[in-house]
Structures are given as structure tokens and as C-alpha cells.
Structure 1
């Protein structure tokens, strides 16, 4: 029997401090793991929150900057309010009611878009 469990998107990043500030400080994720082949090697890191895992990679061949990830979720309005309360200077997402659901879209410092969408 074939069974797919879940996909874990890999997003390109270029700056560890900016990635941590955005994903952990602004979006509220925690670091699941981080790996470098040696101290000066590019970082590969997992961040997670409420069942969602994302992998962030500084390795040039892992992902393309400017990608988009669609994330089905519950609690879009609460998530939106939480993000606005953080007063992050580089991202003030809206809350949109679209034909396919209520959506909060953020753009990370590397041009990647994450569309958090509640589809009731």
C-alpha cells in the first residue's frame, strides 16, 4: 500500500540572522534542528509550529528563491492578529477573504511567499 504522509517544503535562505528573526521572531516558529557540514558551511535548518514544518537551506542547489508555499490551516484571523501585534517592521500582512478561503500571505526576507489559508 502506498501512503504519503506530508510534504516538508524546502525554502532558500541567505542569511541565518534574518531567517531566525522572520521565522522564529515574527511567525512564532521554533527550531526543530539545524545542521552544517562544518562551522563555515551553509546552514540547513528546520522550523516548526503547530504541526507545520519548513526546511530553510542556504545551500544553492536546494531551492529557488521566490518560491510559494500554500499552507492549509485553522485560525487565520487569530494568526493574523498575532502577527500584527508583533509590529514586525518589514511585513504587515493582510487578511483576505478569497473564493478558496481566508488567507494571510507573508513574504520572507528571501522573496519566498507563504500563503496561510483557512478553508472552511
Structure 2
């Protein structure tokens, strides 16, 4: 039985093979073609059916942990500039380090002041849809500590932001 990850791999392979023949298709179109070849009406139906009864683990969400050193700066950058919302906050005692959960549009991040939770200067890669709209939103904020640009790369259109603690987030729209 094929699982959703195998179907996605098949779509990537199909897209690459078609490109070699001079036919360009979007990743979405390749997913739809693979779904039909597996006997499903569309990608959403295929994912639903293929996810049923899958053996072994299935990971449904990732929340990278990023190291922070100043709560006010972290809130200004992640909530004020990037538009995240706080989902939870934890301290063992009022004077102890903060562990903070934030989320936006399906992206969950954990920010930690705890030594050993993460290394300063981490780098995360976030697959992103509608990156141009996100870029426009950030540009309009006129954030004084960073004005990210869009960069076309072989793997997609990318925008990098650096938080006040040296962590880098690469938002990328892959077509």
C-alpha cells in the first residue's frame, strides 16, 4: 500500500521526468496526476485514504525550539513583526527562564530562555504558501531591525529573517 509520503515522492519523480522531456508541471498538478494514477479522484481524497491504516508512526506536526535571551525583544520580533500569537507560556517560578509557544498559519515554534534547549544561531526552513503576500505584509511594517527580501533560488522563492538572537528562518515557496 502506498502512503502519502510515497505518493509525494512519486509526484516529485513524475515532475522531474516530465521536465526532462520539456513539459513543466506544478507540484500540485503532479500530485493530482499521481492521485489519479492510484485510482483516487484528487489529491485530498488520496491523502485521506492513504493515511488510513498506515503502519508505523505518522508525524503530524513539528515545533522547532529556538533559543532566546530577552522576552521583550522576542515578543516584539515574533508577535509584533512576524505576526505570531502566543499559545502558551511556562516558567517554573516567576524569576526563572521563559518557555513560550507561538503559532501562525499552521507554523508552531517554541522559544526558550533555558540553557541547553537550543543553540543560538539555529536555522529553520519553512515551506510557505503565498510568500509574496507575507513579504508585502512584513515590508509594510517598516521593522527597523530587518527588511527581508525575496530571492529566487533553484528550490523556490525564499525570504530569510533573522531574529534578535541570531536565529534564521528561511520561508520558501516551492512550486
Pair member with larger Rg: 2
Task: Report the counterpart of residue 84 of structure 1 in structure 2.
Answer: 139
Q: Per-residue displacement from partner, 1:39-98 (whole Å, max 9, x unpaired)? A: 001000011000000000000110000000000010111100100100000010011111
Task: Report the counterpart of residue 86 of structure 2 in structure 1.
Answer: 31
TM-score w.r.t. length of structure 2: 0.68
| Greater share of residues in helix | 2
By how many angstroms is 1:7 displaced? 1.5
Question: What stretches of structure 1 move > 3 A for 4+ residues in a row?
Answer: none
Aligned equivalents of 2:62, 2:108: Cα separation in 1? 9
Are 1:51 and 2:109 matched, yes or no? no
TM-score w.r.t. length of structure 1: 0.98
Aligned equivalents of 1:19, 1:100: Cα separation in 2? 29
Choose from 75, 81, 98 the match for 2:153: 98
- Paired residue secondary structure (2:172): strand
By how many angstroms is 1:6 displaced? 2.1
Q: Per-residue displacement from partner, 1:1-23 (whole Å, max 9, x unpaired)? A: 22112221000000000000000
Are 1:66 and 2:121 matched, yes or no? yes
- Paired residue secondary structure (2:109): strand
Q: Which has the higher contact order (CA 8 A, sep 6+)?
A: 1
Aligned equivalents of 1:108, 1:2: Cα separation in 2? 33
Are 1:21 and 2:94 matched, yes or no? no
Gaps of 5+ in 2: 1-55
